[in-house]
Amino acid sequence: MSEVLIPEIVAYDGEDLAARSGRIVVLVDGDAPTSLGARRLDRLTRGAVRRAMAGEAWGRVKPGEALELAYPAGLAAEALHLVRLPRRTDVATARKAGGTIARLYGAAPVLALVETHPRHADLILGLLLRAYSFDVYKSGEKKAKGAVTLMVSDVPAAQASYHAALALAQGVFLTRDLVNEPANVLTTTEFAHRLTGLRDLGVHVEVLDEDELERLGMRLLLGVGIGSECPSHVVVMRWNGGVAGEAPFALVGKGVCFDTGGISIKPAGGMEEMTMDMGGAGVVAGVMKTLALRGAKANVVGLVGLVENMPDGRAQRPGDIVKSMKGDTVEVINTDAEGRLVLADVLWYAQETFKPKGIINLATLTGAIIVALGSEHAGVFSNNDALCGAFLKAARAEHEGAWRMPMGQAYDDKLKSRLADMMNVGGREGGAIVAAQFIKRFIKEDMPWVHLDIAGVTLLKGDTPTAPKGATGWGVLALNRLIADMFETTPAKA
């Protein structure tokens, strides 16, 4: 697991920058140094900052990115980094600037002159998010890392921003850690065990075992896990920070710890990626952690269905007909369309047990959504414009790509089965939508619901400004914000 970067936050005093070793970062904009720190560094380097900012290379530096001046004369530092960050900038650019600083984080200490930048809070969050690494399985000596110091004009404000950012980052990191873990380590039981760790933060955590799931009639979920040595679990996490007794909002996640496809087995090439098929459950866990860490004033219940989809002598077969907790029967045409089976039962259980005000479910559900939207946007499906709009707004504010997809009867019709109430697949065309229609069959009339197909955004092959390649933690920030917007913000009086 990754250690969280703890920057030292100090006042911008008259420290002798000339004697400072390591790397110095200064935020600048335009074509001349204007801030106190930039001007002081410019003086110490006899105009090197000004000359660099008049040069051609600076013109190519985009907002949030940096120009490096190596071994600047007049400074003991090994490098001076000019980070372009306008004072009036958006959240994403400020986070990117923080990420740029995080990438300098190595053996040499980093001093960043943040001074009075109005978006220091976003910069700090970007710094923490980009400093994440998952190197538990890299043997050999871990390189000692230096320190990161942020020099700011208002230390208490920056400290407060750091603590707020920490609650977000630690939620995102829980999600990333869970998604990055291999399936031989993060078994269903280990996943459940890690979730019980949230009890320390005041989250009520309940782990349901197979006997209980059997009693509840969750045959769809159990059918997926039946070919695995790992027992299936449903984990219920409750955060009651809102009005006592008020109905909660529900988050439901697909937690397929490994998806071989089952008897409808997947091709070998790339199958190792299916360790991320618990990404929806990972996001639910991350959001619950963030809500608890920041003491959110909302009642939220998070539920995850943890299973492993394996081929085996006892595994579910194509053609099997299975009864759901709801009572509807499903003809399992393709055992690789397992996520919807898991979600169907957990969603039904969530509605029956908690009578939530609304539900959002997350799942790495279909390859089809990757074909449609790539890794830029998650697919958003909903039966409720208000909830869907609120989610899209929160996602936009957090710069987490999300795009609404259509639904409709014609897609649902594809699920008609000759033998049972429905099939679990409906052909290749519009595959992500047909999957959403399947899930919708397990959502009660009038229940506000959003389904997020996160197959494309959960694990990336390349770095982003705020995440190294691998698990992204997509969704934690948007869902946290949605909950804050919906339940913790008093609407302005009309």
Catalytically active residues are 266, 340
User: Using CB under 5 A as the criterion, what x/- string covers residues 90-129 for binding Zn ion?
Assistant: ----------------------------------------
487 DSSP assignment: I
Instruction: Number of residues interacting with Zn ion: please give it, by CB under 5 A.
Output: 4
- 259: contact with Mn ion by CB under 5 A: yes
Q: How far is the CB of 365 from Mn ion (least distance, A)?
A: 9
Q: Give bridge partners of residue 80 from the DSSP assignment.
A: 24, 69
Confirm or reject binding of residue 7 to Zn ion (CB under 5 A).
Answer: no
**Exactly one of 29, 277, 331, 400 binds Zn ion (CB under 5 A); which one?**
277
**403, containing H or E segment:** strand 402-404
| Contact status: 425 vs ligand BES (CB under 6 A) | yes
Q: Does 339 bind ligand BES (CB under 6 A)?
A: yes
Query: What's the token pair of residue 94?
Result: 């400020």
Phi, psi of 247 (to 5 degrees): -60, 140
Positions 162 through 181 that interact with ligand BES (CB under 6 A) = none
Site for ligand BES in 273-312 (CB under 6 A): 277
Tell the smallest beta-carbon distance from residue 32 to ligand BES (Å).
Answer: 48
The CA distance from 426 to 352, in Å, is 27
Residue 53, binding choice from Mn ion, ligand BES, Zn ion, none, Cβ under 5 to 8 Å by partner class: none
Secondary structure of residue 426 in the 3-state scheme:
coil
Nearest 10 degrees: Cα torsion 210, 311, 369, 391 = 10
CA distance 198 to 188: 16
Closest CB to ligand BES among residues 245, 269:
269
SS (H, E, C) 172-210: HHHHHHHHHCCCCCCCHHHHHHHHHHHHHHCCEEEEECH
The two three-digit tokens of residue 284, written as one number: 């639910």
- The residue from 256, 291, 373, 432 that contacts Zn ion (CB under 5 A) is 256
Element (H, E) at 349: helix 339-354
Phi, then psi, of 235 in degrees rounded to 5: -115, 130
**Which CB atom, from 181 or from 338, has the smaller least distance to Mn ion?**
338
Residue 222 CB, nearest distance to ligand BES (Å)? 17
453 contributes a contact to Zn ion by CB under 5 A: no
Indicate which single residue of 259, 331, 398, 453 sits in contact with Zn ion (rule: CB under 5 A): 259
Smallest gap from residue 256 Cβ to ligand BES (A): 6
Q: How far apart are CA 117 and CA 86, in angstroms?
A: 9
Interface pattern 240-279 for ligand BES (x via CB under 6 A): -------------------x-----------------x--
Q: Which residue has the tokens 């995080």?
A: 102
27 lines the binding site for ligand BES (CB under 6 A)? no
Residue 334, contacted partner among ligand BES, Zn ion, Mn ion, none, CB below 5-8 A by kind? ligand BES
What is the strand order of the sheet 329-332 is part of?
Answer: 320-323, 329-332, 422-423
CA 238/CA 287 separation, integer angstroms:
11
427 in the Ramachandran plot: left (φ > 0), alpha (ψ -120 to 50) or beta?
left
Among 72, 227, 262, 339, binds Zn ion (CB under 5 A): 339
Site for ligand BES in 357-376 (CB under 6 A): 364-368
Q: Given the rule CB under 6 A, which residues bind ligand BES?
A: 259, 277, 334, 336-339, 364-368, 425, 431, 455
Q: Given the rule CB under 5 A, which residues bind Mn ion?
A: 259, 336, 338
